[in-house]
């Protein structure tokens, strides 16, 4: 199974989701599940948001090295499931690659068990509170995703 996490610039949320997902999968010893991340407006060569990196390191995930990746057709073709943070990301992907419609979901769908697709808002440039909210939402969503889609 190939999972692709997507946000705006691939320097905060999608990169965080990919890191958390990889950490959980390694702990479960699953060797047939892969993940990647990209941004609908990626900034190739730009490093991760240092505030998000600090939050990851506080959560015991580090050291963290990451460079933004621009979302390309190759990512869309590779992915079995594309998990976006906002409705705008979903719309951008589905407009650019209509064949992807059936495999794009909001990651926030996995925060709860009721399938409501919630957005995970961008904390970039905002307060530490906003980063903690995004981190908590993504952690809960990753746990739900693994429970509901990966370990089935």
Q: pTM, whole model, 2 decimals? A: 0.94
Q: Of these residues, 13, 19, 49, 90, which one is catalytic?
A: 13
pLDDT band at 35 (very low <50, low <70, confident <90, very high): very high
Question: What pLDDT score was predicted for residue 120?
Answer: 97
Catalytic (active site) residue 19? no
Question: What pLDDT score was predicted for residue 106?
Answer: 97
Q: Please state the domain extents for the chain.
A: 2-150
- Which H or E element spans position 81? strand 81-84
Q: Of these residues, 7, 19, 49, 90, which one is catalytic?
A: 7
66-86: average pLDDT: 97
Widest distance between CA atoms in the chain: 39
Catalytic (active site) residue 122? yes
pLDDT per residue over 102-150, tens digit each? 999 999 999 998 878 899 999 998 998 999 999 999 999 999 999 998 8
- Which H or E element spans position 91? helix 87-96
> Quick check: 16 and 28 in contact, CB under 8 A?
no
Question: What pLDDT score was predicted for residue 117?
Answer: 87
Catalytic (active site) residue 114? no
Q: Which two tokens stand for residue 126?
A: 């905002």
Q: Of these residues, 19, 31, 122, 143, which one is catalytic?
A: 122
Which CATH homologous superfamily contains domain 2-150? Response regulator (3.40.50.2300)
């Amino acid at each position: 199974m190939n999972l692709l996490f997507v946000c705006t610039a691939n320097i905060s949320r999608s990169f965080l989701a990919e890191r958390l997902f990889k950490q959980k999968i390694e702990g479960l010893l699953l060797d047939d599940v892969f993940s990647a991340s990209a941004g609908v407006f990626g900034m190739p060569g730009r490093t991760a948001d240092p505030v998000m990196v600090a939050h990851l390191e506080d959560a015991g995930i580090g050291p963290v090295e990451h460079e933004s990746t621009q979302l390309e057709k190759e990512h869309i073709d590779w992915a079995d499931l594309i998990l976006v943070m906002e409705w705008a990301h979903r719309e951008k992907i589905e407009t650019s690659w209509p064949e992807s419609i059936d495999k794009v979901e909001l990651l926030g769908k996995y925060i709860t068990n009721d399938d409501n697709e919630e957005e995970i808002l961008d904390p970039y440039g905002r307060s530490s509170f906003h980063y903690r909210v995004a981190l908590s939402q993504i952690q809960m969503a990753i746990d739900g995703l693994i429970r509901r889609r990966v370990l089935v």
